[in-house]
């Protein structure tokens, strides 16, 4: 597939890929969020209550969930990258600076999107935040549970908080959820990392001290993927620590250049 040069990109406008709330204030900074496997971009929207009014949250919504529920899920990582790349570059072509935040598999996608933009000379994030995901050049730590029957895969997901107990009691919701997370896990697991020059933006890796999917050393290994400033932040909790208490951790998303905004 031939990818467009950055110069040929145009603002994408409204798209099912981008989830946001109507704004009353002009945005000074945009926080672009990439959800974890089986996740949903709508989960990021409540973060606005803990942020200054001139920080806009944009959630990246993959097919198969939310208003895209009827669309087929993606299982090819290269197809995802080559489809989302031009849309994201067009969306971010104009307007205020932006940050990338990705959790778990979303951290991988945020990183790949930052590399896609850099390789084409498009606007790049002011800062990349990766949470709960080992550096992309390391071997994939998670067992290939996407091939297990639903009941066994759900049991494995429960081990690290990857499925809500309330969801297990609703068979009709489980029938919708399991194909999505199964496809997301396969897409992520089957991707092959290709070395490229390190990013030119600062990179912060966030990890919990009791995360079974990402050790502190796994997170520290992200350092080789930026030629700018790198910071490692170790928190208390498990794999979903950030989503459990977003109001507590959101201030960590803002480098010095983006602080100082008042509500």
In-domain check, residue 143 = no
Output the six-digit token pair for 214.
């990402």
In-domain check, residue 186 = no
In-domain check, residue 171 = no
Output the six-digit token pair for 260.
């100082």
In-domain check, residue 148 = no
pLDDT tens, 175-191? 888 889 899 999 988 89
pLDDT tens, 86-136? 999 999 999 999 999 999 999 999 999 999 999 999 999 999 999 999 999
Domain boundaries, position 11: 6-138+195-250
d(C-alpha 231, C-alpha 127), whole Å: 11
Confidence of residue 22 (pLDDT cuts 50, 70, 90): confident
Looking at the structure of the chain, the number of domains it has is: 1
Name the E strands within 132-218.
203-208
In-domain check, residue 113 = yes
Confidence of residue 172 (pLDDT cuts 50, 70, 90): confident
Q: Smallest Cα–Cα separation from 205: which of 172, 169, 166, 234?
A: 234
Confidence of residue 229 (pLDDT cuts 50, 70, 90): very high
Q: Report, as residue numbers or ranges, the catalytic residues.
A: 104
pLDDT tens, 4-17? 333 333 344 458 99
Q: Structure pTM?
A: 0.89
Q: Smallest Cα–Cα separation from 66: which of 88, 45, 86?
A: 45
CATH code of the domain containing 218: 3.40.50.1820
In-domain check, residue 262 = no
């Amino acid at each position: 597939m031939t990818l467009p040069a950055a110069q040929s990109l145009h603002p994408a406008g409204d798209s099912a890929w981008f989830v946001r709330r109507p704004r009353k204030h002009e945005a000074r900074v945009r926080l672009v969020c990439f959800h974890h496997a089986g996740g949903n971009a709508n989960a990021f929207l409540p973060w606005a209550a803990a942020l200054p009014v001139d920080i806009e949250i944009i959630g990246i919504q993959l097919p198969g969930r939310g208003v895209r529920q009827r669309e087929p899920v993606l299982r090819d990582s290269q197809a995802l990258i080559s489809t989302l790349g031009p849309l994201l570059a067009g969306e971010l072509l104009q307007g205020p600076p932006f940050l990338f935040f990705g959790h778990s598999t979303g951290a991988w996608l945020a990183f790949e999107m930052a590399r896609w933009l850099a390789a084409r000379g498009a606007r790049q994030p002011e800062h990349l935040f990766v949470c709960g995901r080992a550096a992309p050049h390391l071997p994939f730590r998670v067992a290939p549970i996407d091939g297990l029957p639903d009941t066994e895969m759900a049991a494995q997901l429960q081990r690290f908080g990857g499925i809500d107990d309330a969801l297990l009691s609703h068979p009709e919701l489980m029938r919708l959820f399991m194909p999505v997370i199964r496809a997301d896990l396969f897409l992520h697991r089957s991707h092959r990392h290709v070395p490229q020059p390190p990013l030119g933006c600062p990179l912060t890796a966030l990890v919990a001290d009791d995360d079974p999917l990402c050790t502190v050393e796994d997170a520290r290994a992200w350092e080789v993927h930026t030629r700018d400033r790198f910071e490692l932040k170790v928190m208390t909790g498990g794999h979903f620590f950030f989503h459990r208490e977003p109001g507590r951790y959101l201030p960590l998303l803002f480098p010095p250049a983006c602080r100082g905004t008042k509500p």
